[in-house]
Structure 1
Amino acid sequence: METTKNPGSVNHRIREGLARIASVMRNEDWSRAKISGLNPTQLAILELLEGRADGLSVKDIAANLGVSQPTATDSIAALERKDLVAKNSDGIDKRSVKVDITTTGRSVLDLAKPDSGAARDAVDALASHEQEDLLITLVKMISHLQQNDAIPIQRMCVSCRYFAPFVHSDAARPHHCHFVDAAFGQREIRVDCREHEIADPAVRAATWTAFNKG
Structure 2
Amino acid sequence: MTVPPAEPGASSSAEQVVAGLAKLSLVMRHEAWKASGRRGLTPTQSQILAVIAGSREPVGIKAVAEQLAVTAGTVSEAVTTLTDKGLVEKRTDPSDGRALVLVLTRAGRREAAKAAQWPEALRRAVEELPMAEQGGLLRGLAGMVRWLQAQGAVPTARMCVECRYFRPNAYPGSERAHHCQFIDAPIGDADLRLDCDDMETAPPQVRTRLWALLVEGRPLDEALAADYATSDPRSSIGTRGPKENRHD
Q: TM-score range by the shorter chain?
A: 0.7 to 0.9
Secondary structure of the residue that 1:152 maps to in structure 2?
coil
Letter of the aligned partner of 2:46 in structure 1? Answer: L
Structure 1 residue 79: deviation in Å? Answer: 1.3
Name structure 1 gaps, 5 residues minimum: none
Residue 75 in structure 1 maps to residue 78 in structure 2: yes
Change (3 A) 1:164 1:57: farther
More displaced stretch, 165-174 vs 133-142: 165-174
Conserved? CA contact 1:36–1:111, under 8 Å: no
- Measure the CA separation in 1 of the matches of 2:118 and 2:152: 32
2:219 pairs with 1:213: no
In angstroms, what is the RMSD of aligned CA positions? 2.1
Quote the Cα distance in structure 2 between the aligned partners of 1:55 and 1:39.
Answer: 23
SS at match of 1:94: strand
Equivalence map 1:175-214=2 (5 Å): 175-214=178-217
Query: CA separation of 1:169/1:118 partners in 2, compared to 1, >3 Å: closer, same or farther?
Result: closer
Q: What's the offset of the Cα at 1:180? A: 1.7
Whole-Å Cα distance in 2 between the matches of residues 188 and 151 of structure 1?
A: 22
Deviating more after overlay: 194-203 vs 16-25: 194-203
- The farther-off stretch of 171-180 and 182-191 is 171-180
Distance 1:57 1:109, change over 3 A: closer
- Asked whether the 8 Å contact 2:158–2:197 carries over to 1, the reply is yes
Alignment of 1:130-209 (within 5 A): 130-169=133-172, 171-209=174-212
Q: Are the structure 2 counterparts of residues 91 and 183 from structure 1 closer, same or farther at C-alpha, using a change threshold of 3 Å?
A: farther
Do the aligned residues in 1 keep the contact of 2:149 with 2:155 (CA within 8 Å)?
yes
For the pair 1:7 / 2:32, whether they are aligned, the reply is no
1:98 to 1:203, Cα distance in 2 relative to 1, 3 A: farther
**CA shift in 2, pair 1:39/1:213, >3 Å:** same
After superposition, the Cα gap between the structure-2 partners of 1:161 and 1:102, relative to the gap in structure 1 and judged at 3 Å, is farther
Residue from 74, 99, 109 that aligns with 1:96: 99
AA at the equivalent of 2:207: R
Q: 2:183 corresponds to which letter in structure 1?
A: V
Change over 3 Å in CA distance of 1:178–1:205 after alignment to 2: same
Question: Which blocks of at least 5 consecutive residues in structure 2 are unaligned?
Answer: 1-6, 218-248
Cα distance change, pair 40–16 in 1 and its aligned pair in 2 (3 A): same
Deviation at 1:136, TM superposition (A): 0.9
Identify the residue that residue 37 of structure 1 maps to in structure 2.
40
Deviations 1:124-156 (A, max 9, x none): 232222211111111110011111111121011
1:60 corresponds to? 63
Provide the TM-score with structure 1 as the length reference.
0.87
CA distance in 1, matches of 2:185, 2:65: 34
CA contact (8 A) 1:55 1:101 kept: no
Residue 112 of structure 1 deviates from its aligned partner by 4.7
Mapped to 1, the partners of 2:105 and 2:162 lie a distance apart of: 28
1:46 to 49, 53, 70: 49
Whichever residue aligns with residue 140 of structure 2, its letter is: T
- Aligned sequence identity (%): 36
Cα distance in structure 2, aligned partners of 1:116 and 1:12: 25
* SS state at 1:187 partner: helix
Structure 1 stretch displaced more, 38-47 or 72-81: 72-81
- 1:27 equivalenced with 2:60 (yes/no): no
